[in-house]
A and B are shown apart, each in its own frame.
Chain A
Amino acid sequence: MVDFFISPFADYMFLRRALMACMALALGCGPVGVLLVLRRMSLMGDALSHAILPGAAIGFLIGGLSLPAMGLGGFVVGFIVASLSGVISRFTILNEDASFAGFYLISLALGVLIISTQGSQVDLMHILFGTILAVDNTSLFMVTGITTFTLCILAIIYRPLLIECFDPGFLRVIGGWGGMYHFLFLVLVALNLVAAFQALGTLMALGMMMLPAVSSRLWARHVWSLFLFSSFFAVLSGYFGLLLSYHLEWPSGPSIILIAGLIYAVSLFIAPFGALKRQQGRD
C-alpha cells in the first residue's frame, strides 16, 4: 500500500514538485471553474485556453521553454483574442461563441506552426500536452503565486461577483461596477489557464477547471460547498493522475484529466443530484 501510494512521492523529488504544483493548481482552478460553469461561460474558457497557445509560442521563441515567458505571452495573446472576438460579435451578425470558435482555431493553427517551425517536435508535444514532471522552482512559485492571488481576489470580490453571476442587470441598476468584476474574473480565468498549461498543456488546461466543477454541481447546492467539492475533486485527480502516470508510465496530463473524468462519470451515478437520484426523485 505504502509502496504504491506514497513511496513514489517520497523517493523522487520531481514527483513531489509535480504533486505540489497539482495541489496548488487544484485549489485555484476549483473555484474559478465553478464560477465559469455558473456563468455559462464554459465555451469562452475553452476558447481562451486555446488562444493562449500562439502567445506561449511567441514566449517560447524569445525565452525558450520557461514558464514565465510563455505564460506572459499566453496571457497577453489570450486577452487580445478574447477582446477581438468581442469586437467581431459586436459589429457583425456573428454570435460571440461563433467568433470565439473562429479565433481560437486560427490561433491554435498559428501556435502549432510557430513552434513546429522554430522548435522541435518534442517542444510542440510539451506545450500541447504539458510537462508536469519537469516543474522547476520558478514555475512552482508562479503556479502557487497565481493560486494565492486568485483566492485572495475571489475572497475580496466574492459577494458582488456572485450577484453579477446570478443577476447582472441587478448589479448594473443599483450602480455596482458589474463590468469591473466581470473583467477581474476573466483575468483570473486567463491566469489559471496559464498556470494549468505547464501541467496539462494548452489542449487540456481547461480540464482541471471544468471537470471538477461540473462534478461538484452534482454534489452540492451552495456556492461555497461547490468550491470545496470542486477543489477536492481537482486535488484527487492531481494525486491519482500522477500516481497512474508513474506506475503505468502514461503521460501525466491525460492521466490527470482522465481521473477527473472518472470522478465526473461516477458522480453522475452516485451523487445526490446525479442522474440516478434525480430519476428516483421524479418517480
Chain B
Amino acid sequence: MEHASPSFWNIFQKKHKVVHCEAGGSPGIEIKNLTVTYPKNTVISGLMCHFDVPSLWAIVGPNGGGKSTLLRALLGLQKPITGKVIFRGFCPCDVAYLAQQNQLDRRFPLTVGDTIAMGLFREVGIFRRYTKEQRDKMQAALEQVGLASFAKTPLQALSGGQFQRVLFARLILQDAPVIFLDEPFTGVDTRTIADLMKLVHVWVQEKRLVIAVLHDTALVNEHFPNTLLLARQFYREGPTEKVLTKANIQSMIETSQAWEAMVGEEPHG
C-alpha cells in the first residue's frame, strides 16, 4: 500500500476512471468482476458484489486479503486491471471515507474544532467564514459523539478513543449518503466502540449505506446484517449468518495460509 509520507508524485495521481455513475435503478453500489493486482500478487480477483443504499455491511478477512484495497478501488484511489464499479443514484464525491487511524499524525497542531470543520469544506470552500448555522451544526456533531466541551482541545491531548470520536464527528458533518470506514475500531476502547456503533445504526436509519472493514467477528455478528468475507480470490457475500459460517471461515484461513506460505518462500528484501 502506498500512503505514507506525501510524495512528489502525489501531484500526478489522479482518480482513476473506474467508477461509473448511473442515475436509474435503485440506489446502490454494483461491483462487476473486479480484479486488482499489485506487482507481486493478485489481491482481489473477479469480485462480484452488490451493496444497496441503505444498508449496513461489514468487510471481514485476513490481513492482506484485500479489504482496504477494495475500499480504495471503490474510491477510485486504486486502479483495478479489470472490472467495473457502478454507483447508482449518487456520485463518487458523495462518499465519506474514514481511513485507518494510523495514517494520521495525532500530534498535528489542530484543535478538535478545526478538525471537524474539515467535514464542511465542500460547503464553505476556501474563503468563506463559518456561519452561525454551521457552528451550531459542529457543536451538535460534537455532542452526538460525546465530546461537547472539547471544541478547543488540541488533538494531541486526546486518547485514541476520543480521537476516533472526533473523526466520526467529521463524518457527521460531511453528511454523505455513503460512508466507508476502514478499521474504525482498531485500538479503540469498548465504551467508544459501543457509542460509535450506535451512531452507525443511526446513519443506517437515516437511509445511508455504511461499509466497514472490521476484524472483530463477534462485533460483526452482533451489529452487521450483511457481510463480505474477502480473502483474495476466495470471497462470500450476503447475510452475516450465512457468510460467517465455520466452513467459510475455515476455507478463508486455508486460502490465506496458502499465500502466506508463498511469501515465506520468497527471498528476503
- Of A169, A171, A186, A226, which contacts B8 at CB under 8 A? A186
Q: How far is the CA of A46 from the CA of B261 in the complex (A)?
A: 42
Interface 9-residue window, one of A67-75, A108-116, A136-144, A156-164: A156-164
B158 an interface residue at 8 Å Cβ cutoff? Answer: no
A277 an interface residue at 8 Å Cβ cutoff? Answer: no
Q: How far is the CA of A252 from the CA of B10 in the complex (A)?
A: 38
With A166-B115, A179-B11 as contacts: A174 and B108 at CB distance below 8 Å: no
Contact present for B12 and A179 (CB under 8 Å):
yes
Encode contact with A along B58-90: 1 for CB under 8 Å, 0 otherwise: 000000000000000001010000000000000
Contact present for B6 and A182 (CB under 8 Å):
yes
Contact present for B8 and A83 (CB under 8 Å):
yes
Contact present for A166 and B122 (CB under 8 Å):
no
Encode contact with B along A27-70: 1 for CB under 8 Å, 0 otherwise: 00000000000111100100000000000000000000000000
Query: Nearest CB to that of A176 among chain B residues?
Result: B121
A173 an interface residue at 8 Å Cβ cutoff? Answer: yes
- List, in ascending order, chain A residues with CB within 8 A of B118's CB: 163, 166-167, 170
Encode contact with A along B162-181: 1 for CB under 8 Å, 0 otherwise: 00000000000010000000
Contact present for A169 and B13 (CB under 8 Å):
no
- List, in ascending order, chain B residues with CB within 8 A of A170's CB: 97, 99, 118
Majority secondary structure, B binding face: mixed
Contact present for B109 and A173 (CB under 8 Å):
no
Encode contact with A along B141-160: 1 for CB under 8 Å, 0 otherwise: 00000000000001010000
Nearest CB of chain B from residue A100's CB, rounded to whole Å: 9
Q: How far is the CA of A243 from the CA of B243 in the complex (A)?
A: 75
Query: Nearest CB to that of A165 among chain B residues?
Result: B108
Query: Nearest CB to that of A216 among chain B residues?
Result: B109
- List, in ascending order, chain B residues with CB within 8 A of A173's CB: 75, 77, 95-97
Encode contact with B along A117-128: 1 for CB under 8 Å, 0 otherwise: 000000000000
A82 an interface residue at 8 Å Cβ cutoff? Answer: yes
- List, in ascending order, chain B residues with CB within 8 A of A171's CB: 121
Contact present for B126 and A167 (CB under 8 Å):
no
Q: How far is the CA of A170 from the CA of B93 in the complex (A)?
A: 11
A237 an interface residue at 8 Å Cβ cutoff? Answer: no
A222 an interface residue at 8 Å Cβ cutoff? Answer: yes
B interface residues, tally (CB under 8 Å): 37
With A182-B11, A223-B110 as contacts: A169 and B103 at CB distance below 8 Å: yes
Nearest CB of chain A from residue B175's CB, rounded to whole Å: 12
Query: Nearest CB to that of B182 among chain A residues?
Result: A169
Nearest CB of chain A from residue B249's CB, rounded to whole Å: 30
Encode contact with A along B26-44: 1 for CB under 8 Å, 0 otherwise: 0000000000000000000
Interface centre among A159, A180, A182, A183 (most CB of B within 10 A): A159
- Of B104, B109, B154, which contacts A38 at CB under 8 A? B109
Contact present for B174 and A96 (CB under 8 Å):
no
A244 an interface residue at 8 Å Cβ cutoff? Answer: no
- Of A82, A175, A179, which contacts B13 at CB under 8 A? A179
Q: How far is the CA of A2 from the CA of B97 in the complex (A)?
A: 60
With A173-B95, A173-B97, A183-B11 as contacts: A168 and B105 at CB distance below 8 Å: no
- List, in ascending order, chain A residues with CB within 8 A of B92's CB: 175
- Pick 27 A–B contacts, CB within 8 A, sort by A: A38-B108, A38-B109, A39-B6, A40-B5, A41-B5, A85-B8, A86-B7, A89-B7, A89-B9, A156-B126, A159-B127, A166-B105, A167-B99, A169-B77, A169-B97, A169-B103, A170-B97, A170-B99, A172-B77, A173-B95, A174-B121, A175-B122, A176-B121, A179-B14, A182-B6, A221-B109, A221-B156
Can you list the 6 inter-chain pairs with the closest CB atoms, starting with the nearest?
Answer: A86-B8, A179-B11, A175-B93, A173-B97, A183-B11, A169-B99
Listed in ascending order, the chain A residues whose CB lies under 8 Å from chain B are 38-41, 44, 82-83, 85-86, 89-90, 96, 156-157, 159-160, 162-176, 178-180, 182-183, 186, 217, 220-223, 226
Other A-B pairs, 10, CB within 8 Å; known A167-B99, A221-B156: A83-B8, A85-B8, A96-B8, A157-B126, A163-B121, A164-B6, A168-B10, A170-B118, A221-B154, A222-B109
